[in-house]
Structure 1
């Protein structure tokens, strides 16, 4: 179990991970390299979805649950979908890509709430981070795309 100091450090790192989302959203809204900022925002979102998949993979590896194989398989689905959304961005509208990525962030949060109640501090952190990220996706989708 993590100490309070480690949880605090992890929380600070989590919020630091919001900086690229915030900076790119501001750049897009202020039309500072607007299209490029939106594209990088989408790329960073897909990277974070893959990062969360790695967290899930590690948590499953520490578990001795009977359904670990199924859970490991589910860890692979969101990053593959995120990659497909980013790749399809050339043909699809950015609204569809941004909405799909936002839904994947919500999927991870829901998944974690169902499987990891033993880590309430982490679930609280993920809720705050996910709310912010999804809100930024909505703002980008509504205003810039």
Structure 2
């Protein structure tokens, strides 16, 4: 990828943090914090799903190699994100906010670790993903703390 495209990807990646930061601030200021946390969880699941799509695209671009295993792994974020949203939509007997925030934070870290193993040749992308992931996970932790 050329430098202009990398720069665009970086700008878009950091712009993707805006909803995470805004919803965390709304929750911290207790301006309808419960709704802000629910929206944060939804956005986090959507972003996690998007990360699998990146790998799907990379598999499709690499027509020379057998990509079956990588394609299967690329579905994990979508299925996990949908599972969290499905459970969150059910009328449950108790509040699972802490569990959802914790699971999503761990999933984001898990996927970054997976990407580090599979995409070592894309150092600029891994640096960007590391910065974005650690910011996102830190914001999850902040919401976990204020939800206790």
What TM-score results when the alignment is normalised by the length of structure 2? 0.91
Q: Distance in 2 between matches of 1:122 and 1:11?
A: 9
Displacement of 1:37 after TM fit? Answer: 0.3
Superimposed CA distance per residue, residues 73-111 of structure 1 (whole angstroms, 9 cap, x where no aligned partner): 111122212221222234351111111111111121111
Is the CA contact 2:51–2:77 (under 8 Å) kept in the aligned structure 1? no
Q: Distance in 1 between matches of 2:134 and 2:54?
A: 18
Displacement of 1:10 after TM fit? Answer: 0.9
Of 87-96 and 21-30, more deviation after overlay is shown by 87-96
Tell me the residue number matched to 2:142.
Answer: 139
Tell me, what secondary structure is at the counterpart of 1:118? Answer: coil
Gaps of 5+ in 2: none
Is the CA contact 1:105–1:130 (under 8 Å) kept in the aligned structure 2? yes
Is the CA contact 2:48–2:78 (under 8 Å) kept in the aligned structure 1? yes
Number of residue equivalences: 143
Please tell me whether residue 54 in structure 1 is matched to residue 57 in structure 2.
no
Gaps of 5+ in 1: none
Q: Distance in 1 between matches of 2:105 and 2:59?
A: 23
Q: Distance in 2 between matches of 1:71 and 1:136?
A: 29
Q: Distance in 2 between matches of 1:111 and 1:60?
A: 15
Tell me, what secondary structure is at the counterpart of 2:109? Answer: helix
Q: Distance in 2 between matches of 1:99 and 1:144?
A: 11
| Runs of 4+ deviating beyond 4 Å | none
Tell me, what secondary structure is at the counterpart of 2:75? Answer: helix
Superimposed CA distance per residue, residues 2-55 of structure 1 (whole angstroms, 9 cap, x where no aligned partner): 111211111011000000000000001111111100000000001101111111
What TM-score results when the alignment is normalised by the length of structure 1? 0.93
